[in-house]
Structure formats: C-alpha cells, structure tokens
Amino acid sequence: MAIEQIKMPQLGESVTEGTISKWLVSVGDKVNKYDPLAEVMTDKVNAEVPSSFTGTIKELIANEGDTFAVGEIICTIEIEGGSTEEAPAAEKPAAEAAPGNAAPAVSGNDGNRARYSPAVLKLAQEHNIDLALVNGTGAGGRITRKDLQQIIQSGNIPQPSAEAPKAQAAAQTEAPAQPAAPSQPAAATASAPAPSVPVAAGDIEIPVSGIRKAIAANMLRSKHEAPHAWTMVEVDVTNLVEYRNGLKDDFKKKEGFNLTFFAFFVKAVAQALKEFPQINSMWAGEKIIQKKDINISIAVATEDALFVPVIKNADEKTIKGIGREINELAQKVRTGMLRSEDMQGGTFTVNNTGSFGSVQSMGIINYPQAAILQVESIVKRPVVMNNGMIAVRDMVNLCLSLDHRVLDGLVCGRFLARVKEILENTSKDTTSIY
C-alpha cells in the first residue's frame, strides 16, 4: 500500500486559502478517482474537492471549520501498490529529506505540532506568538490558523521564550519558502483582536461564517494594499431605456430570459476597455500586467455571501450573448452550481449596485484587478438640455474605483467619458442586440 496526499486546491484567482465547510467522507471510506471528498468555502466560491486517487481514506487532517492555505495537506488516501511510506521522497518536506537540516526529533503528537504551515508561521511572527506554548486542535495536535486567530482575538497571547526563534527556524525548514511579508500594523490585518462590544438583553450574537471571514480578509487586503481613488460620471440613458423597454417582452418570448439594462452596461464597458487597455491591468509588484483578454467579473449576491463569476471575452459577445451569460451565471450562484473555473480570469469588475436602489457608491477593488465600476440606479431627473429647456430624463451614475498605483485620473476620465458616449448613443436606430 502507498499513502497519497490531498491538498487544498486553488479555487480561484488570488485565492490563498479555503475553509473546510463539510467532509463528505470519513476515515475508512473507499473512494474512486474524482469522487467529491469535501465542500470548501473561499471568498470567491463554494466548491467540492475531488479525489485524485482511488483508494481508502486514511486520515482527515483538517476538521470542519478549519482554514488551510492553498497547497496544505487536508487528508491522506491509502492506495494499492507502491511502498508503505507516507509519501514519495521527492514530495517530503525538505527537513525530512535532508537530515542535516532536520528539526529536533519529536515523538507522538508532537511530530504534527512541530510542522507549521506557512499561514501559521506568518500569523505567529506577526503577533509574536510562541508556538511551543500553543495547544493545537488539528489532527494529532497540529496547530491550525484557526487556533491562532482565536488566541489573537482573546488577547491572551503566549509570549515567545528564548528558544522560540530556534524552534520556529527549525520548523520553517519543513514549510515551503515564502516571500517575506511587509511589516503591517496589527490593526491593518484581518486577524486584529476583536473589539470589546457590550451585549445587552435582547441582542443577537451571530457567528461569523467561514465565507464571511474570507470575504472580510480579501476586502481588507484590497483596501490595505491598493491606494483607492474614486471618480464618477452622470449618463443620460433615456434613449437606451426606451429601446430596451420597447423590445424586452418580445425578447423574453423569443430567447427565454430577460434582457436587462445591465447587459447594455457590460457591453459598453467591454468596448471601452478595448479602446483603453490600460484600465484592463493588474499590479504585480515591480511591473504592471496589461491583460490581453477582456474578462468582466460581475458581482452576484446571495442571502449571506457575494460571488464574482466572470464573463470571458466580453468584447467579442453581443448584448444578447452577454445577457444570456449574466442570466446563466446568476442561476449557477443561486443554485450552488457555480464552479471554480467560472470565477477565474477576471480582469475588470462591473457591479450592479443599482439593483439595490443605490445612486452613488464607492466600491472596493476586486484584488488584484486595477478598477471596479459601480452601475447605479436609473432614475428620472429634471435636466437642463442644450437648448436651455428643462426635461425629465433617465439618468444613471457610473462610479469608478481605481488603484492609483496602476491608473491615473486622466486615463480613467477618458475611459468613463467613452463609456458615457457609448451608452448615450445606444438606441434602436444605432444599436443591435444581436
């Protein structure tokens, strides 16, 4: 028999960790290749982790509710054939493969305790926690990221002993090399101590779900790393509204789904991105990556979470094609059928905040993209026309949040002006939805 490892997969672009929400197997269960093993939550998607092997579940290393970094082992499977070693030598941690670099020998559960994941090591270093004084709740006493978060929130942090640096240095030989994290104040991290909030009679305490924690961490990262700037334009979409309202009933009968205003906005943005490719970029440290494909991320909300599926190559699709894809992606989100590949590859985000009645908002950028556009409610307003007369027009605000490391006001202003021009010239005489 041989032991194979199942690791936390990367379930979306920029996703660095996932939370085991539910195990679908138990120790001793026989599984086939591609059978689902667990349900995992991230800030971007809920997905099932499939088995890479046919065999018998030997150990569930992660508990339900535990958060593991991408690449960390979550369970092991015993398969027929091969040696009785737990893993091929090439896959063993460096400290095991090279005796000269090994940590001091430990026995029993201490063996698992001494193997710290990169996420655990980073938290311990940021908050000056002596890992030797922490009791882990993971399999075999393993210290998990959740253990450290609970300690940090309680404020009762074990102080490092004189030997702690040596112990952590030894433990690091068993973890993958990680780039040094920039020094950050504790208040700027997702693991900052929770504020003391008095709870009065009648107050309701609602536990924070794993997906809500993941959303919070990703939003905090975006706000902390990307210097946000904002700009807004007002657009007269009277002709667009008249055009869409005039054909929506026939369209629904013919195509089987609703033609929404949002499809027109996504098409206009995709066209403008093609003309202003600088906006379709991402920050990558020492360089800026200008993406070739125009893949529009759209925000779709459920009762307790927000997902960001992607319309691939939106500039090549018609308004009808974009409308169909918006409808299909929204249905996948609301029925729990969204796949990890549906979330990947986004280069720019368009958020339909107008669906909630909002008229002005400042969105947080979908990291690592460089900008996000909020499409607000279409409302009737009195407007002074070019001839000096006042008329009631259908108006909408477009609010752009931008990463000022990547983009400047000039190019963003020109981009918004082009989106405005496209929308204001959309009518039955100038625009085809097919």
DSSP codes, 129-150: --GGGPPP-SGGG---HHHHHH
Q: Which of 172, 204, 234 delimits the end of a domain? A: 172
Whether residue 203 is contained in a domain is answered as no
Whether residue 351 is contained in a domain is answered as yes
Annotated catalytic residue 404: yes
State the pairing for strand pair 379-384/371-375: unpaired
Q: Say yes or no: 244 and 147 in one domain.
A: no
Q: Say yes or no: 237 and 151 in one domain.
A: no
Asked whether 353 and 374 are in contact (CB, 8 A), the reply is: yes
Q: Say yes or no: 115 and 26 in one domain.
A: yes
Segment-wise mean pLDDT, segments of 10 residues, the chain, 434 residues: 88 76 92 88 76 92 87 91 43 37 40 55 75 75 77 73 46 42 40 74 83 77 92 98 96 96 98 98 93 95 82 97 96 86 93 94 93 97 94 98 96 98 96 95
- Marked catalytic residue, from 110, 293, 304, 408: 408
Asked whether 417 and 276 are in contact (CB, 8 A), the reply is: no
Q: Say yes or no: 167 and 230 in one domain.
A: no
Whether residue 315 is contained in a domain is answered as yes
Whether residue 35 is contained in a domain is answered as yes
**Dist CA 108 CA 23 (whole Å):** 25
Q: Which of 172, 193, 211 delimits the end of a domain? A: 172
Q: Which residues pair with 260 in a beta bridge?
A: none
Whether residue 267 is contained in a domain is answered as yes
**Which residues span the domain enclosing 358?**
226-424
Angle at 300 between CA 212 and CA 424, to 5 degrees: 135
Q: Domain holding 81: CATH number?
A: 2.40.50.100
- Chain mean position to CA 316: 25
Q: Say yes or no: 137 and 240 in one domain.
A: no
Q: Say yes or no: 392 and 267 in one domain.
A: yes
Phi, psi of 180 (to 5 degrees): -65, 130
Q: Say yes or no: 32 and 153 in one domain.
A: yes
Please give the pLDDT value at position 218. Answer: 78
Q: Say yes or no: 262 and 136 in one domain.
A: no
Which residue reads 């529009």 in tokens? 296
Q: Say yes or no: 69 and 150 in one domain.
A: yes
Amino acid at 51: S
Claim: this prediction has a pTM higher than 0.95: no
What are the angstrom distances between the C-alpha of 318 and each of 172, 260, 393, 431? Answer: 52, 13, 26, 10
Q: Which of 143, 172, 201 delimits the end of a domain? A: 172
Q: Say yes or no: 166 and 231 in one domain.
A: no
Q: Say yes or no: 153 and 260 in one domain.
A: no
Do you find a cis peptide bond into 118, omega within 30 degrees of 0? Answer: no
Q: Say yes or no: 131 and 279 in one domain.
A: no
Whether residue 118 is contained in a domain is answered as yes
Please give the pLDDT value at position 14. Answer: 64
Please give the pLDDT value at position 183. Answer: 39
Q: Domain holding 260: CATH number?
A: 3.30.559.10
- Marked catalytic residue, from 249, 250, 304, 404: 404
Number of separate domains in the chain: 2
Whether residue 39 is contained in a domain is answered as yes
Whether residue 409 is contained in a domain is answered as yes
Asked whether 352 and 299 are in contact (CB, 8 A), the reply is: yes
Please give the pLDDT value at position 211. Answer: 67
Q: Which helix (H) or strand (E) holds 405?
A: none
